[in-house]
Amino acid sequence: MIPLHTVAEHRSARGEIHLSESAVIRAYHDHLVIAPLSLANLCETSGVKIFGEDGHRTVLPFLVYLDLNKWVEIAKWRTEGSQSGRPEGFDTALRWATSGTVLFPLSSGHFFEIAKIGDDKRRRTLANTMADLSQGWFLVSPGNLIKRELRRAMARTFHKTFSDIPPVPITRNISWVFARPDQVDLAREDRLFQQPGFLREYLATARINRPFLESWDRIAQEHEWSRGIVRTGSRTLRKRAYCARLTMAIREVFESALVETGLTSTDMGKLGPDGAVQLLESVSFLDVEMFLHVERNEHRDRRIQANDEIDIGFLRMAVPYCDHVITEKFWSSLLLRNGFDEKYVTTIGSDLTGVLARVASKVGMSMSVFDEVGKVGTSRAKL
C-alpha cells in the first residue's frame, strides 16, 4: 500500500498510479472541506489519474472543461436540434452529467464571461445549459491550493519530509471558486448556490458594469506595454522575469510556505535563477500559467486581448486537473506543441465534437453521436 502522504508522488513519467480505492478514501477522511463526494469523485478529484493493471482508467467521472465558445456551441445543439447538425449531442452530454459519468465544471471565468453577454435570451439559454451540464460543480480557485502546493514543491526540492494530501480541484462551494474562505465569508452564498435553480438564475441575470470591463482592457494594455519593453534578451530571460513578478505577487503566501517547510530565503537563494523557476514549475497550475503568459507574449503578430487573462486563469487549472480541455485554437496549439497533453495526461483540443467523441469512446458508447471531424490533440496518454 502506498503511504497516504506520498500518494501524489508515486507516478510514472506519464502520470500513472496504481492505488486502491480504499487508500483514496482514507486519504480524504476528515480532510474534505467541500461538499461530500462519491467514491468515484474522491478518486478522480485527488489530482491523480488512476489506472488499473491493464493500463485503463478504473474510475469515473471524467472531467471535461469547456471554454465559453464551446458552451455556446453545445447550447446551440440544445436549442436548434436537427438544424445544429448534432441533435443528440446535448442529450448525450446531459445523460453523462446527470449520471455522474462526466463532469463539466465551471470556473470563475465563466461567471465573468456570461455576465458580459447583452442579449437576455441568449444569456439565459447559455445559463440553462451551463447549470444542467455542470450540475453545480466548479474548479477551485488556485488561491485555495497555492500554499499547500508550494509547500509540497519546496519539500520535494529540498528533500524535506512533509505530509500533505493531494489537492481537491473541484467543489460545489462557491466560496472556493472566487476567494479563500479565510479572506471572504461567503457562507450565505454557498447555501444559496446549493438551492435548486439558483445557479441557473444567477448565471442568467448577473451582469457586470463598464468599469469592471475596462479594468480587463487596462490589464491587456499593460501587458502589451511590458511586452514592448522586454523585447531584448532570450526567451529564458523573459521567463525568469515573469517568474520574478509572479513570486512578488504571491510573496506573502510564498514566505509563509517557506517558514512552514522549515526553509529560509537563504535556502531559496542557493537554487539560483533556474532552480527558482523549476520550483515554481513543479506547481502544476503555476507551470501552465507561466508557460502560457510567456508563450503568448512571444506571438507579437497577435495583439494581447482583454480575455487572455481570463483564459489563462481557467486553463492553468483545467489542464493539470481535467481529463479533456476544449478551448480556442490559439491556446490548444501552444499547449499541444509543447507536450502539455502528455505532461498532464489530458486531451487538449479546439474541436468540441472531436474531443467529445473521445469521451464517448471512453465511457463505452458509440461515437456516431459525435462525428470526429475536427482537429483534436493527439495525446498518446492513457485515458
The span from the CA of 258 to the CA of 170, in Å, is 26
Residue 43, pLDDT > 60, answer no
Q: How confident is the model over 136-171, as pLDDT tens digits?
A: 999 999 988 999 899 999 999 999 887 656 677 888
**Which sequence spans correspond to the domains of the chain?**
4-369
Residue 87: the pLDDT is 60
Residue 307, pLDDT > 90, answer no
Residue 60: pLDDT band by 50, 70, 90 thresholds? low
Residue 364: the pLDDT is 67
Residue 209: the pLDDT is 75
Residue 118: the pLDDT is 87
Letter for the amino acid at 98? T
- pLDDT average, residue stretch 267-277: 91
Residue 313, pLDDT > 50, answer yes
Q: Between residues 82 and 77, which one has the greater pLDDT?
A: 77
Q: How confident is the model over 229-247, as pLDDT tens digits?
A: 666 667 788 888 888 888 9
Residue 33, pLDDT > 50, answer no
Q: Which residue has the cell 465563466?
A: 110
Q: Between residues 326 and 212, which one has the greater pLDDT?
A: 326
Question: Which residues have CB under 8 Å from 343's CB, separation 6+?
Answer: 15
Give whichever of 35-44, 170-179, 186-195 has the largest mean pLDDT.
Answer: 170-179
Q: What are phi and psi of 144, to 5 degrees?
A: -85, -10
Residue 173: pLDDT band by 50, 70, 90 thresholds? confident
Residue 123, pLDDT > 70, answer yes
The span from the CA of 241 to the CA of 324, in Å, is 31
- pLDDT average, residue stretch 124-142: 93
Give whichever of 105-114, 184-193, 303-312 has the largest mean pLDDT.
Answer: 105-114
Question: Which residues have CB under 8 Å from 14's CB, separation 6+?
Answer: 342, 345, 381, 382
Rounded to 5°, the CA angle 269-233-283 comes to 45
Question: With contact defined as beta carbons under 8 Å apart, do 89 and 353 qualify?
Answer: yes
The span from the CA of 24 to the CA of 20, in Å, is 7
Q: How confident is the model over 321-369, as pLDDT tens digits?
A: 999 999 999 999 999 999 999 999 899 999 988 888 888 887 765 445 5
Residue 306: the pLDDT is 80
Q: Percent of the chain, pLDDT > 70?
A: 72
